Amino acid sequence: LSPKAGDTVFDMCSSPGGKAFTAAQLMKNKGKILAFDLYPQRVKLCEEGALRLGIDIIEAKVGDACVFLPEYEKAADKVLCDVPCSGFGIIGRKPEIRYKDIAIIDNLLPVQYNILANAAKYVKSGGTLVYSTCTLSRAENEGVCEKFLGNNAEFRKISFNTIIPTENGGDGFFFAVFGRI
């Protein structure tokens, strides 16, 4: 994401706030971060964390990342979508994921795509959009991102990155970086 001081950053699926806190530190607590989450109790976690860390540029809001808020159209320099996913990249830490029904992916794909497509509407011209998951599922990763690129000519692919879990306990995850033309 590489936020800079003075940027406006949206974190679409923020709770408990770690990504927003990191962005605020990189921004030297200068700029604005809107941190959205679907559930009020999770938004409260983000607010409490920001207060504890002395971060005052985060505005945590209850919001469905799939629902467009026109007042924020093309308002952000950077937008992060760390979407709900199957979690297959963190099986080492959460072995119970092995027992998830693989059909869950079919239910997640439209949600993931809708979050990404909606978040794209908030990115300024010349801005950056990041999509991330903690899964290694190609359908949830490259599949969602390729569909997005096919439907959004004003965005270009900067990179797709898959991190494979390590034997030492590292997690697997994926992130894609897009630029708005």
Residue 6, pLDDT score: 99
pTM, full prediction: 0.95
User: Which residue out of 13, 46, 134, 145 is catalytically annotated?
Assistant: 134
Q: What is the pLDDT of residues 79-125, one digit of tens each?
A: 999 999 999 999 888 889 888 888 889 999 999 999 999 999 999 99
- Which of 40-49, 84-93, 111-120, 136-145 shows the lowest mean pLDDT across its residues? 84-93
Question: For the chain, which domains are there?
Answer: 1-63 (3.40.50.150), 84-181 (3.40.50.150)
Residue 29, pLDDT score: 98
Instruction: Tell me the percentage of the chain whose pLDDT exceeds 70.
Output: 99
Residue 78, pLDDT score: 99
Mark whether 134 is an active-site residue.
yes
Mind giving me the DSSP string for 53-117?
Answer: HT--SEEEEE--TTS--GGGTT-EEEEEEE-----GGGTTT-GGGGGS-TTHHHHHHHHHHHHHH
Mean residue pLDDT across the chain: 96
Are 11 and 60 contacting, i.e. CB atoms less than 8 angstroms apart? no
In eight-state DSSP terms, residue 28 is T
Are 12 and 38 contacting, i.e. CB atoms less than 8 angstroms apart? no
Q: What is the pLDDT of residues 69-92, one digit of tens each?
A: 999 999 999 999 999 999 999 988
Residue 142, pLDDT score: 99
Amino acid at 176: A
